[in-house]
Amino acid sequence: MSLYPLKFKTIYKEKIWGGNKLKTQLNKEVPANAKVGETWEVSGIDGDISVVSNGTLEGNSLQDLIEIYMGDLVGDKIYDKYGIEFPVLIKFIDANDDLSIQVHPDNNIAKQRHNAFGKTEMWYVLDAEKDSKLISGFNKTVTKREYLNKLEANEISDILNFEPVKKGDVFFIPAGRVHAIGSGILLAEIQQTSDITYRIYDWDRKDDNGKSRDLHTDLALDVLDFKKHDNYKTQYKTIKNEAVELAKTDYFKTNIIELTKKLEIDIFKIDSFIIYIATEGECDIIYSTKDFINLKKGETVLIPAELNNIILNPKTDNCTLLEVYM
């Protein structure tokens, strides 16, 4: 059976801080009365493997398809390295309230402690309310002792770097960087396939049953990068009908494309699947002389590596895509 661009059933994640923008802005079918904070669009996380929602392969899991199609689906080099584990996780996140202050381990520590991948990620801001901020890194270089003193005194905010946020902002969050998404922010997250989070501080928040969420102070201590870094926000400028780099890591590459006309993409040279995330507008993705798939804002599609080339054809004036591959 031939491969084609794959869409997947949305995986909904209820969160204490979730809002309603996933429904109102991205047209997600959020379950009634549910506080959904995340949708997982393409996932290889055990227990939350994505399932195809379109075409002749509908109902098959992503992992099953990698077993069957191997490098034809993900790319030969990627299959050789990762086997049937899909290497990236794509999410939308709606923060109606501040998320916890947290950090993620790198591959080495995650392997030792959890037999899992580490978590390097990036954020693309889809929308932000007035005066919204997020946390990325420290505002000065601190020692472990200074950090612990501030944490114990409930003064951790004093040493954190707060960034004002607007639509289109990009933040790269390597493993080890302290971070938190602030209230009023809707974003797309591209990350390694990992669900390991060390929660440092949760704003003294309690759930509906009056319970606080677990903190991971000791685990986080060996992971944190205590240095101050310059330019926590990624600087970039879009160029019409060209892929502009937003992030290039050992784990994924992400570009942004603003489309005003047809654009041909040569997949064969990349030897990787490509994921397109529609952040604005609508386009058709033409993958044979007679076949295409439509992609609207809030939708995500996986292009198999074997398709060789495709054409992106904008259907609206404001079509913008994130392009993710290995």
Q: Which residue has the tokens 């198999």?
A: 304
Edge-first strand listing for the sheet containing 300-303? 243-248, 253-259, 319-325, 274-280, 300-303
3-8 mean pLDDT: 98
Query: Is 177 designated active site?
Result: no
Q: What is the pLDDT of residues 129-151, one digit of tens each?
A: 999 999 999 999 999 999 999 99
Q: What is the pLDDT of residues 22-51, one digit of tens each?
A: 999 999 999 888 899 999 999 999 999 999
**How sure is the predictor about 273, in pLDDT bands with cuts at 50, 70 and 90?**
very high
- 39-43, 251-255, 290-294: the lowest-pLDDT one: 290-294
Amino acid, single-letter form, for residue 219: L
**How sure is the predictor about 204, in pLDDT bands with cuts at 50, 70 and 90?**
confident
Q: Distance of CA 284 to CAs 71, 151, 237, Å?
A: 25, 50, 24
**Degrees, nearest 5: CA angle 82-292-45:** 25
Map out the domains of the chain with their CATH numbers: 11-221 (2.60.120.10), 243-325 (2.60.120.10)
CB 72 within 8 A of CB 164: no
Options 113, 145, 177, 199, the catalytic residue: 199
CB 300 within 8 A of CB 276: yes
Beta partners for residue 52, in sequence order: 8
CB 139 within 8 A of CB 228: yes
| pTM, full prediction | 0.96
Average pLDDT, the chain: 96
Burial of 234: CB neighbours in 10 Å, binned 0-12, 13-18, 19+: middle
CB 118 within 8 A of CB 107: yes
C-alpha 280/C-alpha 211 separation (Å) is 39
